[in-house]
Amino acid sequence: MNDKGKSGKVTFGNTAFMPKEELLETVVRNKRITIGIPCDIKDDEKRVALTPESVNLLIESDNEVIIQKGAGLGANYTDKDYSENGAIISDSPARVYSADVVIKVAPFTENDTDYLKGNQVVMSYLNVLKLSEETLGKLIRKKVTAIAFEKIRDRNGEMPVVESMSEISGITSLLIASEYLSNLHGGKGVMLGGITGVTPTEVLILGANTAGEAAARAAIGLGSTVKIFDNSLPRLRRFQNIVGQRLQTSTFHPQVLKKALKSADVLIGAIELEDLKPWYYITEDMVRSMKRGAVIIDLSIDRGGCIETTECRALKDPVYEKHGVIHFSAWNLPSRVARTASIALSNIFTPLLQSMADAGGITNLLKYEEGLRNGAYLFNGMLTNETLGQKFGIISKDLDLLISAF
């Protein structure tokens, strides 16, 4: 029975039939996400995407982190380190791979994709050259949104993962060269650098980029003579200003490069190659002209390499000799200093993952972060990377158009 209250409003029981404010749709904020970190050690990868300290920060922000048992051992992080910081340690790969976001360093394999439940976010290195059609097909069928580490850009247009790993690779390459020039591994017994009264070693670097700069700084610090080649005069000029005057710069003039190779003790290949476009700046004949016992390290080997005699090898077996020249060729060189590399990766991915949670999911974050969109090669199972489309004969879609529909 209807009655009127003291104010004259029509009521039914205790409810007043009054106009109500329209509820406008708003973006869900601070959504709790579950993050899974699988174990990569069996794939010759020792880095881990998140350190225990970063896990603690994410958990304090009401997220859940599930770590596969032993995932951090390669970087000397124990399961106890993670559990004490709030992570769930699991023996079950299926549980780890069922998280909202699965983040690992090594590229996804066909076996990895079998564990995914579908409609998730997966993050890892992509490595276009090694990705198989079967693995990509399974990721598409699982309708995942996939982000490639090496393609992510920040708001300044830089690639933070590439830059940090290149810096590590550049410095590490000189330390490795020093080992293999010495008698320790059967080298010719030369010290990298120079001392009073002894001619300094010569280091030749291809590429005036982050890796090349890091390698040059390390070599100059040890007292070596450094020669750097690049096909961009502005980059060479910038490089000269940053590093200083104790180096020689040149464009890729064939005669100048051949002459420099004949006296070089160390050759570092730091050229930034485009995916599926290997380009040999140093041919096999040019390697033949180098001194016996010289050392070659190709930092671009994961993208095909810039030196014809280099091979893409695992970190457990990276050294071989060809034409009397020692080659060190590992596709994941930063994994040699896994703890430092893991901290660097964690510094990048911790705020990114928290931003994803704050935005209410990957779709909302992709709308506003152009640099993250640059890293996406799958969106809800739809291919958005033109290079992969060319490789496998699949039509790729424009991610900007796809995002605008959501």
Provide the pLDDT for residue 386: 92
Neighbours of 355 (CB within 10 A): 14
What is the DSSP secondary structure assignment for residue 389, as one 8-state letter? H
Same domain, 177 and 307: yes
pTM above 0.95, yes or no: no
Quote the number of domains for the chain: 2
Six token digits for residue 26: 């708003």
Same domain, 173 and 314: yes
Same domain, 319 and 364: no
Six token digits for residue 387: 């290079």
Provide the pLDDT for residue 319: 96
Question: Cα–chain-centroid distance for residue 204?
Answer: 25
Provide the pLDDT for residue 216: 94
Give the pLDDT mean for 56-70: 97
Provide the pLDDT for residue 304: 85
Decide if pLDDT at 244 tops 50.
yes
- Asked if residue 313 is part of any domain, the answer here is yes
Same domain, 70 and 124: yes
Decide if pLDDT at 16 tops 50.
no
Decide if pLDDT at 5 tops 50.
no
CA distance 368 to 21: 29
Percent of the chain, pLDDT > 70?
90
Same domain, 398 and 341: yes
- Asked if residue 19 is part of any domain, the answer here is no
Whole-Å CA distances, 252 to 170, 271, 281, 289: 20, 12, 8, 17
Neighbours of 204 (CB within 10 A): 26
Which residue type sits at 215? A
Residue range 253-302, pLDDT digits in tens: 999 999 999 999 999 999 988 766 667 899 999 999 999 999 999 999 98
Decide if pLDDT at 361 tops 60.
yes
Same domain, 322 and 244: yes
- Asked if residue 16 is part of any domain, the answer here is no
CA distance 124 to 338: 16
Question: Cα–chain-centroid distance for residue 192?
Answer: 29
Which residues form the domain of 221? 164-331
Strand 88-90 with 64-68, pairing: parallel
Same domain, 281 and 327: yes
Q: Per-residue DSSP letters for 206-266? A: E--SHHHHHHHHHHHHHT-EEEEE-S-HHHHHHHHHHH-SSEEEE---HHHHHHHHHH-SE
Mean of the per-residue pLDDT values for the chain? 90
Beta strands in 251-387 (DSSP E): 266-269, 295-298, 319-322, 325-328, 376-379, 382-383
CA distance 366 to 378: 12
Look up the CATH number of the domain holding residue 344.
Answer: 3.40.50.720
